[in-house]
Amino acid sequence: MVDALGMMFPRLAARLPKISIANLPTPLREYSFATVSPSVTVLVKHDDLSNEQYGGNKIRKLEYLLQRARERDATRVATFGTVASNHALATSIHARQLGLDCTCFLSHQARTDKAALALNLHLQQGTEIVRFGGDRTSRVQTLRRHLQHRHAWVIPMGGSNWLGVIGFVNAGLELALQLEDAGHAAPDHLYVANGTMGTAAGLAIGLALAGLATEIQAVRVTHAQVANPAAMQRLIAKTVTMMRRLDMSIPADVANRVKLRFRDAFFAAGYARTDATTERAIAVARAQLGLTLDATYTGKAMAALLSDLENPAGAGSTLLFWNTYHARALPVSSQLPADTSALPQEFLRYYV
């Protein structure tokens, strides 16, 4: 186990304890891409290997968020997502391992192959699945009905509050140490799927703290009302403010030194929807890198990387792809369960 935050900012780390559920550091590997001539080397950060049971990028956030739930003596955690949400599933699995009950407020999304699998794994874990939607009044009523007097700790969608972002500040510092150990120069660009913005925000802060000039390519995969530059700026500023409250050795100007670019051109037809560009990126990543990507998040980030790689203007740039997807097969079937009493009836549509 390596805790880069603890090594570089021990006072901050001491005041932000976490549970250890991530296998850190996740591997950093080199791959050769032959889609252009001559072939180029691309680095891949394997957060797909962050946990054997259920990994991906949510695990780094949950180390801090689930620790806070324990500190508050919660007996239940609650969170939000769509039907196939990686975050909701990761929260349920790792909360259960800590002895915490879990309520997931889930909303509709486009039908994907993973939706039925995710719902069945929630049922296997004993997740309380709640259909979440409607107007503000009905959503507030739903929250009250399921959370009042239940000793619940609420984790935001995607785990993307300032505390969750700390997990990826740590990740950015971890990457800096790995690059130094391997003798790699800092990559010019780092490509990552940008959903609720916590991953990209934390990486940007971590790399700025490490003094790296790498520009984060935050490839938007959610609607603009969720992920947008103004909201990103607020999330980064809030995270840095909270870090400095805990450790004044954090530079005051670090929020101004982040290098991050929003990429909106690869959203395809919408959240959890795909297009030919995304599908090609998934196929190329499988054939040339041996990576399994998804059409909702990582396929779109890879599409941005391929687009830049094949653009003559980007010749000579060094690139890094941050793989946020847990690609291991889920230990359930996609069949409609015999007992559907724990499923909201509206979610039966996700079964073939």
* Spans of all domains in the chain: 4-57+160-323, 59-159
> String of b and e for 41-56 (b: at least 16 CB within 10 Å)?
ebbbbbbbbbbeebbb
Classify domain 4-57+160-323 by CATH architecture: 3-Layer(aba) Sandwich (3.40)
Our CA angle for 308, 187, 287, nearest 5°, is 55
Q: What gap in Å lies between CA 342 and CA 352, rounded to an integer?
A: 18
Q: Give the number of other Cβ atoms within 10 Å of residue 131's Cβ.
A: 16
Whether the Cβ atoms of residue 197 and residue 160 lie closer than 8 Å to each other:
yes
Q: Considering only CA atoms, give the Rg of the chain.
A: 20
Amino acid occupying residue 309: L
Say what the pLDDT of residue 32 is: 87
- DSSP secondary structure code for residue 288 in this structure: I
Largest CA distance in the chain: 63
Residue type at position 287: A
Reduce the DSSP state of residue 297 to 3 states and report it: coil
Quick: pLDDT tens for 62-84: 999 999 999 999 999 999 999 99
Exposure string of 307-322, with b = 16+ CB inside 10 Å and e = fewer, is ebbeeeebeeebbbbb
Distance between CA 253 and CA 313 in Å, rounded? 31
Fold of the CATH domain 59-159: Rossmann fold (3.40.50)
What is the 8-class DSSP label of residue 338?
A: S
Domain pair 4-57+160-323 / 59-159, same fold = yes
Question: Which letter does DSSP use for residue 174 in this model?
Answer: H
Residue 275 in tokens: 């297009």
| Separation of alpha carbons 229 and 216, rounded Å | 13
Q: State the alpha helices, DSSP H only, in 107-225.
A: 113-125, 136-147, 162-182, 198-209
Please state, in angstroms and rounded to a whole number, the distance separating the CA atoms of residues 219 and 255: 20
> pLDDT at position 1, please?
59
Residue 87 Cα to chain centre, angstroms:
7
Backbone phi, psi, residue 238, to 5°:
-65, -40
Count of beta carbons in the 10 Å neighbourhood of residue 97? 14
**Segment holding 63, helix H or strand E:** helix 58-71
Residue 37 has a pLDDT of: 61
Residues lower than pLDDT 70 in the chain: 1, 35-38
Helix, strand, coil tally for the chain in percent (to 5) = 45, 15, 40
> pLDDT by residue (tens digit) across 15-34?
999 999 999 999 999 998 87
From CA 146, how far away is CA 141, in angstroms rounded?
Answer: 9
